[in-house]
Structures are given as structure tokens and as C-alpha cells.
Structure 1
């Protein structure tokens, strides 16, 4: 399930600043617009810069919010100087890749859904890029896929490409779109003989 948006580029200068702060264990100050574009000022203890789903992210301890946060590198507006130094913290959950997957998978989409897929979790995992969805086993023959997309049309296409039966209850826009598609597909084929 690819992303619907073009991949933003990050200049080497912007990426070098957080990477150096991670290496040197120095606090980092930067401007950071949220999803709506509202500006904010952040002070963090950077842990690691990670490339995930064709984007760069900074995973860091947000000093003022007292919690782990994930920041898209293309939105970071570094302020200098960096510092002071800090003692490193244990990464959230002990696994930075799993943490980033959970945070990033759901953050960027306009439409999100939890779909019950009637297939073993291992079979669904083979078809899902971890950057765009998470899979949790229910039992040996079914699982829950948490995923999303920028449009319900794109989300419907990707769910169809799983090639497994699935149940969707939300969002209502996706349910409505899938019903329209089912009607359209039924009208497009001759009756069975």
C-alpha cells in the first residue's frame, strides 16, 4: 500500500543538524509546523534519525511535553546553537522501529481504518509494508489490519489488492464507497448462468 503523496525532499543541511545532535547527545531546538501548518517551537533530546516509508523522521524526547515524539525531517526548521548535552534515554518500548511504525503508520492519513481480514496474520503481513499498516492476529485464521490513505478511493483499491475477504465498519465514508463499488461491479458483469 503506497502513500498517496509525493515524497518530500530534505536538504542535507537540515538532515545533518539532527543527526549531529543525536551523535553528540545535544539538545536540539527547532521550529516545527503541525499537520495543519500551525508553527510551534520544540526543544528535544534527539535519539535517532530514521528513514521509514521513503521519508526521514527524527525520534526524540520532547523536553517540554515530557514524552517521546516523532518529527518529519522535511518539516524541521533547525535553530542554532544546539546543546546542552544530555544523558541518553532508553528508546520507547525498547524497539525504535516498532515505535516509529506505530506512530508513522497512522499519523499522515486523512482516512484511517481497522479492518478485520479473514486470513492468517502472517499472510497479510507479507502483503503490507510496515510503514503503512500494522497487523494483529485475532486467531489462526483472522487478523486486524490498521491502515489508512489520503482518499477512500485509494484505501478501497489497496484493500481489494489484499486478495482476502475483509470486514470494514469505519470510517463511514469508506463503507459507503465500498458499497457503491460493490453495486458498480455487480452491474458490470452478466448474470451467472
Structure 2
């Protein structure tokens, strides 16, 4: 192969690895060649062992099929380093992924170019993780991966979902975005049964199954999925009510807020309301403890009892 042809085929392979399906016209436009040249290059990739599927007709296209004999991925330097960083720091809010991530990192390191291997080695030596055994809710990595694919391909999925009250029901949704917040993972999806947008906590979902039915992407109300999820979480009912009037400007309190669902409303230039209501009494206590100024509290009796007990334990410990 000529140098130009080799470079073009590597670029073609890289493009096929970034998207589920490409039309011949799109590939030709990206590579600045004819559609006929794209077809010839696809045939060359197949001769080299890359399983490239194609479909004829107006809606036809090319995609790199999955398979056990798929040759290694092609990653640019910045992509390889980004993968190494992600593996090394994986992965908050997921169950049992730490050891798997380190094994994957070891495999990646074996095939890295020498110019990157030193950077990754320095990263491994300079970064230390802390294993927090909080016993809190954790998402299943396999479930997260399945939903990530469904979001990418706009494929309808089904699963069983347990609500905050303990009721379980089957759901059929069009996944749109995954959002991580406060150690939890959330799925933003359009619920086909309820004909509305819903936010699902992944630690409460089970039995995710792809239907094979792909649909056009829906337009999300609002441009930012994270902000949309935060607003839905803020508006959701909670088991325990706790509202603090804080003697500090709203912007100062927002700078210290750890969770986007924390509801903060300015009263004037020097005070604001913080709605710390939650299903978890310890989380309410952590939110209030993080406030940067004095406050008065309007809360349910169980919240006040929990705060008093916590304060008394702290006082006994310091006495």
C-alpha cells in the first residue's frame, strides 16, 4: 500500500470505531474521496480481518461489527492517555469495577507507544485512590454499559424499576442521557408508557433488556441534561422535609453546595432559603453541615431528632 492509502485506511478505521453506522457518502466526505474509493477501502479492511457490515439501499451504510476476532482499536495519543486516566481513576458509584479497570489498564499499557508509556507510568505512581466503604447504593457496571449503548443508538429498553416507596413496576423507555451526581448514577429517558420524561436511579433498576427497536432522538426540554436532571430531582417528593434560612447570599451557598438537587432560593442580598429535604436523614445532616453560615431550620420532627442525636454524640465525644 502507498503511504497515502495506508493513512486513509487508518483514518477510515478510526471513523468506523467512533460511530455505530456511517453512510458511504458521509465517509467519502470525511475522507475527501469518492464513494467508490470508500467501497474499495472497505473491501481492503475486510481482507485484513476487520468485520465491516454493510447494508444496501437509501438507508444503507457501513458499521464495524462486534466479534471475538476484532483486531485492536486504533487510538490517537490523547485518546489512549484519556482511557488510561479513566481506567486508573475508575469508578465512583459502581460495584466491583476497580480490579477489572486495573487489569484493563495493564493490557493497555502493554501496547502503548513508548512515548505514552512513561506518562501513564507516572500517572500510576502519582495517583492514589481511596476505597470508601460507605455501604451506600451502587450501580451495576454491566447495567450502566447497556444503557450507555442504548443512549448512543436511541434504542428502546425495558427494565424493572423500584421506586423510593419500594414499589416495583416494569418500564419501557427511550434512553437519552446518563448523569452522575453525588455518588449516584441517573438515567434520563422518555417513558413510553407515561408519555413523559423520567429520571431513574440506576441502583434501583434491574433486568435491563434491549428491544432492538431504534427510534429518532427526542428533543430534550432544555439544552443541559445535567441541569434537567437536577431540576427533576429537586422537584421530586422526599420522605423528610428540611428547609434552612441561611444568613448568607445565595451565590455563596451555591459555591459550597455538594449536590445539584440542593434547592437554593435567594430571599434578599444577604439571606437565602436552602431546601435540604431528602429521603436520607444522614444526607440532610451533611447538607446542613456544609452550609457556610448560621441558619434557622424548619424541619420534620424526625429530622430534628436525628440532628439532636448527632449533635449530642459529637458533644459527648468532645467532652
Question: Could you state the TM-score of these two structures normalised by the residue count of structure 2?
Answer: 0.49
**Structure with greater helix percent:** 2
Residue 155 (structure 2) pairs with residue 26 (structure 1): yes
Structure 2: give runs of 5+ residues left out of the alignment: 1-133, 315-319
Q: Secondary structure at the match of 1:9?
A: coil
Q: Aligned partners of 1:105, 1:39: CA distance in 2, in Å?
A: 22
Considering only CA atoms, is the larger Rg found in Structure 1 or Structure 2? Answer: 2
Residue 59 (structure 1) aligns with: 188
Compute the displacement of 1:20 (Å). Answer: 0.9
**Paired residue total:** 182
Residue 201 (structure 2) aligns with: 72
Compute the displacement of 1:90 (Å). Answer: 2.1
> Which structure is richer in relative contact order (CA contacts within 8 A, separation 6 or more)?
1
Residue 295 (structure 2) aligns with: 166
4+ runs deviating over 4 angstroms: 105-109, 149-154, 175-185
Structure 1: give runs of 5+ residues left out of the alignment: 186-193
**Structure with greater strand percent:** 1
Are the structure 2 counterparts of residues 178 and 36 from structure 1 closer, same or farther at C-alpha, using a change threshold of 3 Å?
A: closer
CA RMSD of aligned residues (A): 3.2
Q: Aligned partners of 2:282, 2:179: CA distance in 1, in Å?
A: 30
Are the structure 2 counterparts of residues 132 and 7 from structure 1 closer, same or farther at C-alpha, using a change threshold of 3 Å?
A: farther
Q: Secondary structure at the match of 1:44?
A: strand
Deviations 1:84-134 (A, max 9, x none): 222222223332111222333575964232222121011111221134512
